[in-house]
Each structure stands twice: as C-alpha cells, then as structure tokens.
Structure 1
Amino acid sequence: MKKWLQAFVASIQFLTRIPMPVQVPFTPEILKRSTVFFPITGLFIGLITWGAGLLFGSLLPPWPAAAFVLVVMIMMTGGLHLDGLMDTADGLLSGRTVERILEIMKDSRVGAMGVIVCFIVLLLQWSLVAALLEHDVWGLFIVLPFLGSRFAMVWAIAKEPHARADSGLGVLFHGIKGSYLVVSFLLLSFFAALALFADSAWLSPIGLLSGMEQWHLRPMIFLLLFLLVSLALSFLLARGISRKLGGLTGDTYGCIAELTLTLLFMAVVMNLNIQG
C-alpha cells in the first residue's frame, strides 16, 4: 500500500507543478506504478482548468479569459509536455535519419519547427476554450480531454518500445505491466462518467455553467465515443511516432499528451451546437 501511495504522489509530482507536502523516491518501480494514476492527475489539472474558466469567465470577456485559462493550463504542468512537443516536432519534421532525429530531440535548443508547431497547438487550445466561454458552454465535461490525454501517455509507454534503451527519463517508465494500462483505462472511464453525471445532475441545477443541453449527442453516447476516440488517438499517435523513430522517448510522451488534449478538446467542441 505504501508503494501505491508513493506512486500516486509521484504521478502528481512528475506530471504537474501542484505542490505536494511529501517527497517520494523517483525509482523505476515507483514511476512505473505511477502510470496507473496518470488519468487522475489529468483529472486534477482539468478541475483546476474548469475552475479557472469559471473565475476568469466571470471577470473578463471570453477571449482574454481563455488566454488566462491557457496560462493556468501551462502553469499546471510547467510546460513539460509542450517542451516534449517542440522537441519532437523539431526532430520529426527535420527530414533527417533516425539517429539524427534523436540527436536533435536531445538538444536543449528549440528550432523553428518546434516553435511553429507549439504556436499552432496553443492557438487551437486558446480558440477552443474561448469558443466554449463565448457561448456560455463551460461544464465539468472540460476535464474529459485532460483525462484522455494522460491515458494516452500510459498507452504509449505500455504499447511501444523505447527508442533510447539506455538513456533518457522515459526509459524509467519502460516495461510497465499490462494490468497497469487496464486499470488506467478503467479510471479514465470511471472519472469521465462521473464528470458527465455530476455536470448534468448536480452542477447545472445550481447555476454553474454547463451547456450540455446544446450537445448533439446524449452524454452516455458521447462518453462511449469519447472512450473510443481516446483509444484510437492513443494508438494512432503512439504507433505513428514509434514507426518513425523505432520507438518512443520521454519527449514523445509529452507530444502525444498535447496533441491528444487538443484533438479531444476539438471533439468536445464539435459535439456542441454552438456554430454561428
């Protein structure tokens, strides 16, 4: 039990900048176990983001409010996943050999492609958040993309080999048990369902913004599609990058998280009848 509690804390400490009153050893065993709790860590980030949206949405117009929400999202992770996104973009879009791509990704300097891809991803995230705030559609379902994107990291770690067998922080996670992936998916499913239920049953009636009445799909159908899309994105992104590099690295895990987050946000917005 002690090791599992340490793994839970390690998940929060590794993926976020949320202050924790205790320190745990970042040993390979603890880090591997921590992957089980990645979706819960995503839930915490999502809840803080949801709260930030309620706060800034009540104080500012939608577009600047969305900018502050995005700042909170970045602060929660310290830009960890964005750094991985930029390094991966620099490498994969360089058109070089696998060996050279891995060298580029290890370079602490950021290249033009990394900056461009990061700008596009942040622009998409900002505009999607702003669209929701502008149409008063801001419910607890906002946590779903954060849940799914952190599960995508677990999938990538469990299902694909590591590109650098003897170096990099990502190698500490390599070789997690299949049961960890299963439990992680169950946690994703449970908390996604709980968020949707709480949104429709508890929060909307007391006046907190939701907008679920504007959904194209019923919550249960959307939940099933969300889980299927999360699995599909996890598989496609991890397999696509792995085939290019012959495996994955710590940077690519962060890249997968940011891309999955953005695409799942898009899925949420597409399910809402807010066009025009």
Structure 2
Amino acid sequence: MRLAFGTLTVLPVKVPSVDRRTAGRAMALAPLVGLVLALVVLVETVVLEDLVPPQLTAVLVVGTLALLTRGMHLDGLADTADGLGSGRPAEGALEVMRKGDVGPFGVVTLVLVLLTQVVSVAFLLTTRHGPADVAAALVVSRLVLPLACLAGIPAARPEGLGAMVAGSVSRATAALVVLAVLVVGAAATVVVSGPSPWFALVGLLGGLLVGRRAVRRFGGITGDVLGAVVEATFTVALVALVAAG
C-alpha cells in the first residue's frame, strides 16, 4: 500500500524496500489509488459547482490531478511521445526519453491530451452524473497499470521503475483486480445510475494499445510508458463517456 501511494501520488509516504513481489502487489492496488484521487475530484467538483462555471472547474480538476501525481504521468506521456516519434532504433529512442527536456512530439501530445481532458471534463460536469463519470474514468485509468505489468511483459531497461514492475503481476491477480473493479462499478451503476461499464473497456483498450506499441518499439516498458498508458486510458475513457452522454 505504501509503495502504491508513494509511487503514484505526491503523498509523503515512506516507500519500503522493494522486491518484485511487493512491486506486483503495489501495481495491483493502483485502482485503489485511483479511487482516492476520484474522491478528491468529487469533493472539488461539489465545492466549485455553484462558484465557477464548469469550464473553469474542469481546468482546476485536471490541474489538481497533475499536482497530486507530481505531473509524472504527464511527463511520462511527453517522454514516450518523443521516443515514439524520434524515428531512432530502440536504444536511441530510450536515450531521447532519458533526457529531461520535452521535444516537439511531447509538447504537441501534451497540449492535445490536456485540451481533450479539460473539454471532456467540462462537458461531463454539465450532465446529470458528470462528477461520478470523471471519478469512474480515474479509477479505470489506474486499473490499466496491473494489466500493463502482466507476467511476460518485459522491461525496456535493466533499471528504473519499469524494470521493477514489468511482468510483476500474475494473470490471476490481474483478473481478480479487474473483476473486483467491474463488480464495484456495476453495483455503483445500479445504485446511482452511473455510466455503463462499456466505457471502461474502451478506455483500457486505448491505454493498452499505447503500451503494446511502446513494447514493440522499445523492447519493453519503462516508467515513462506506464505514465503514458495511464494518461491515454484516462483520456480515451473520458471521450467514450462524452460520446455516450
């Protein structure tokens, strides 16, 4: 639990010594981290509902998520975009991703993704169950992490977060986590007439396609790739909810 929150949020949690078993459990708990972030967003939207227009609330929500995650998922998205767009072989692309600066592919990707997130959240907040929809998309965006770290998925580098968590989640564990999230989501849908669970499948598919492309391009996953997968899943899930709205 400490590793999950210490790695995936800005919370000052002392991270314990890590082995692959602990790393796998932390990734399996990622949806719980998403749930905590979702609760923060729900409170924020309720507080701001009568104070500012939904467009400004959407900007603040996306900004709050960046703050609570140290912007590391967005940073990973930008670095992954630069690596994929570099046109270099795997080693050269990974070297591009190691650099601290953001290249043109990263900038364009960040702008488009953030705009899509803000516009989508703003639209959803005008609907009946908008805050719940955004919260559900957040949980789904973290549900993708155990799937991106399934046994058999290699690390692109011998060091870093990717090496620690790549292939660390068994298929049985991932299946149980997905089942648990879907059951809770289905129950919530019945209780509060929330979004249909199909949007979760669309979001997960979008994120996993990004992960698959990165594995084929870089030879495995890195911490940056995991960040990109999270942001891709969140964005695609939001767009799916808008399309259904």
Q: Partner of 1:65: helix, strand, or coil?
A: helix
State the shift of 1:130 in Å.
1.2
Aligned to 1:14: 7
1:75 and 1:197, CA in 2 relative to 1: closer, same or farther beyond 3 A?
Answer: farther
Check whether the contact 2:45–2:57 (CA below 8 A) recurs between aligned residues: yes
Q: TM-score, with normalisation over the residues of structure 2?
A: 0.90
Listed as ranges, the matches of 1:91-106 within 5 Å are 91-106=83-98
Residue 193 (str. 1) matches residue 186 (str. 2): yes
2:38 to 33, 41, 46: 46
Alpha carbons 1:230, 1:264 under 8 Å: kept: yes
SS in 1 for 2:154: coil
Match of 2:26 in 1: 34
Is contact 1:152-1:256 (8 Å) kept? Answer: yes
Alpha carbons 1:17, 1:77 under 8 Å: kept: yes
Matched, 1:238 2:211: yes
Task: Write out per-residue CA displacement over residues 160-196 of structure 1, whole angstroms, 9 at most, x where no aligned residue.
Answer: 22111x1222111123222221222123213322432
Tell me how far 1:23 sits from its aligned partner: 5.0
Correspondent of 1:131 among 123, 142, 158: 123
Aligned to 1:4: none
Deviation at 1:115, TM superposition (A): 1.6
RMSD over aligned Cα atoms: 2.0
Letter in 1 for 2:222: T
The separation in 1 between residues aligned to 2:54 and 2:132, in whole angstroms, is 18
Rounded to whole Å, the distance in 2 between the matches of 1:44 and 1:234 is 21
Answer whether contact 1:90 1:113 (CA < 8 A) is retained: yes
Question: Which residue among 229, 242, 248 is the counterpart of 2:221?
Answer: 248
Deviation digits for residues 200-230 of structure 1, max 9, x if unmatched? 3xxxxxxxxxxx6xxxxxx5xx22x234324
Question: Structure 2: which amino acid aligns with 1:259?
Answer: A
- Give the 3 Å change call, closer, same or farther, for CA 246–102 of structure 1 in structure 2: same
Query: 1:108 and 1:148 mapped to 2: Cα distance?
Result: 29
Q: Distance in 2 between matches of 1:57 and 1:26?
A: 42
Q: Which runs of 5+ in 1 are unaligned?
A: 1-7, 201-211, 213-218
After superposition, the Cα gap between the structure-2 partners of 1:114 and 1:189, relative to the gap in structure 1 and judged at 3 Å, is: same
Aligned identity (percent) is 32
Q: How many pairs does the alignment contain?
A: 243
Q: Is the 8 A contact 2:83 2:93 kept in 1?
A: yes
Quick one: which amino acid aligns to residue 213 of structure 2?
A: G
* Structure 2 residues without counterparts, runs of 5 or longer: none
So what's the TM-score if we normalise by structure 1?
0.81
Alignment partner, residue 118 of structure 1: 110
Task: After TM superposition, list the pairs within 5 Å mapping 1:208-223 onto structure 2.
Answer: 219=195, 222-223=196-197
Structure 1 residue 92: Cα displacement: 0.7
Alignment match, 1:178 = 171
Displacement of 1:259 after TM fit?
A: 0.8
